[in-house]
Amino acid sequence: MNGISFHIDAGEIVGMVGESGCGKSATALSLMRLIPEPPGKVAADLIRFRGENLLAFSGAKLRDLRGKDISMVFQDPMTSLNPMLRIRRQMTEGLRLHLKLGKHEALDQAVEMLRLVGIPAAERRIHDYPHQLSGGMRQRVVIAIALSCNPALILADEPTTALDVTIQAQILELMRSIMRERNTAVMLITHDLGVVAGMCDRVLVMYAGSIVEEASRRDIFYSPRHPYTVGLLRSVPRLDRERAERLPQIEGVPPDLAQLPMGCSFQARCPFVTEVCRRQIPELRTIGTGHRIACHHDITRVDAA
């Protein structure tokens, strides 16, 4: 990642979008201080959470923070859950560690959390192993674990990618209602712009390890100003297009993050590239209220049509 800076307010759902390999998951792991060091390294100057710098936290203090104040919903629920342990063990561990609940009290609260996320017969299913649950139910369990200690911030890394559309809609609506009720801040990583449209208040668009556009949901969908954002939106299938019409795509492939080109990292794929783009890295600049872009130009969707 390169020069990333953003904020998430209490009760706000911020979407992070971009192609695979652009650094979305690595950003979330960096916030949790879960990047293995070595070979990785968190080179940020500051990661502020509730007024404290997470980079200054000791290992013990980080363990107290993870799962209690900041939780993460990982991409694949089957690999997030330990296949050798029953659901009750995996759900009560955090409750007993962080909230200091007794064995029976933690079990009762874990069952209540399963009911909250829509698991039928929760008092029975909590004794199952992960392989005995469907993909949708496993994802609900992972979300229940993330919510169980009432964290202030949840990092959700493509929480519904492997699910069918019906289950996906149910889980997203469930997450939104619970988070609004608890005033929980959420960073939602996804490839699905439909999910962003339905869930998020603000959107961060990432490309090649950097944020290239940040704006409200409305501005991203109705007034995108970065060529990459426009390209992403144009490549989404639409019901109002003729079926015979070829779906637009962003030509080329993302650059190698280990050997980024001089200047703008999007230059090789950008239809608006000029000489300044090849020589100078664009800064993330403000062009309107809450709207920032990292581009030497200021295009509109009409320009890109």
Which residues neighbour 71 within 8 Å (Cβ) at sequence distance 6 or greater? 145, 146, 147, 149, 151, 153, 154, 155
Structural domains in the chain, CATH included, are 13-200 (3.40.50.300), 217-304 (no CATH)
pLDDT for residue 228: 94
Residues of the chain with confidence (pLDDT) below 50 = none
pLDDT for residue 164: 73
* 263-286 as b/e: b if 16+ CB within 10 A: bbbbbebbebbeeebeeebbebee
Q: How far apart are CA 243 and CA 247, in angstroms?
A: 9
Q: How far apart are CA 206 and CA 23, in angstroms?
A: 7
pLDDT for residue 158: 86
pLDDT for residue 180: 84
pLDDT for residue 273: 92
